Amino acid sequence: MSQVNKKMKVAIIMGSQSDWPVMENATTVLNALDIPYKAMVVSAHRTPKRLVEFAENAENEYSLIIAGAGGAAHLPGMAASMTWLPVIGVPVMSKALKGMDSLLSIVQMPKGVAVATQAIGEAGAFNAGLIAAQMLAMGNEDLQVKLKAWRQAQTDSVAWETV
């Protein structure tokens, strides 16, 4: 538990710079709750050595990993294969198959290596940041307080009546 408090930092990795407009949504809750993060382009296909270097050293700098990719999206699963840190997967929309390829590539992990897969696209990226905050809050009471306040604010923002 103290280790979680010591280095509460999230790695956000994505297969391409083109994923950033989607993956940026993962930062919304992290920013709101003052959770540090670093966003990086790490491609399973184009920069495989970078992926190995990142994943093998991730535990020294981060508490968990959010990994987004599109198409034949091997990045989250490959990252998860090389670190014990939890990996939250975000299927990014693809042009050809609208992200169904990304979703199935990420979600259908063989048993023994786990990826916590979110929804396709912006909602999935947003919720990746949210579930990351919830996971970190398990070992951090200050963060629990902030998270509960954030949830209450969201509840309070839902209007009863339409305009």
When the beta carbons of 8 and 13 are compared against ligand RP5, the nearer one is 13
Residue 157: CB partners within 8 Å, gap ≥ 6? Answer: none
* CA atoms of 122 and 97, how far apart (whole Å): 16
When the beta carbons of 71 and 89 are compared against ligand RP5, the nearer one is 71
> Is 92 an interacting residue with respect to ligand RP5 (CB under 6 A)?
yes
> Is 118 an interacting residue with respect to ligand RP5 (CB under 6 A)?
no
User: Nearest Cα to 40, choosing from 8, 73, 14?
Assistant: 14
> Is 15 an interacting residue with respect to ligand RP5 (CB under 6 A)?
yes
Residue 123: CB partners within 8 Å, gap ≥ 6? Answer: 25
| 30-38, 64-72, 115-123, 137-145 -> range binding ligand RP5 (CB under 6 A) | 64-72
> Is 89 an interacting residue with respect to ligand RP5 (CB under 6 A)?
no
> Is 70 an interacting residue with respect to ligand RP5 (CB under 6 A)?
yes
In a 13 Å sphere around the CA of 59, the CA atoms on its Cβ side amount to 8
Among 43, 63, 83, 105, binds ligand RP5 (CB under 6 A): 43
- Continuous H helices in the chain: 2-6, 20-23, 27-32, 48-57, 75-81, 100-107, 122-137, 141-156
In a 13 Å sphere around the CA of 79, the CA atoms on its Cβ side amount to 35
19 is in an annotated binding site: yes
Among 10, 12, 19, 78, binds ligand RP5 (CB under 6 A): 19
CB of 72 to ligand RP5, least distance (A): 8
Name residue, tokens 């930092």.
9
Which segments are annotated as binding site for substrate? 16, 19, 46
Q: Which residues bind ligand RP5 (CB under 6 A)?
A: 14-16, 18-19, 43, 45, 69-71, 92
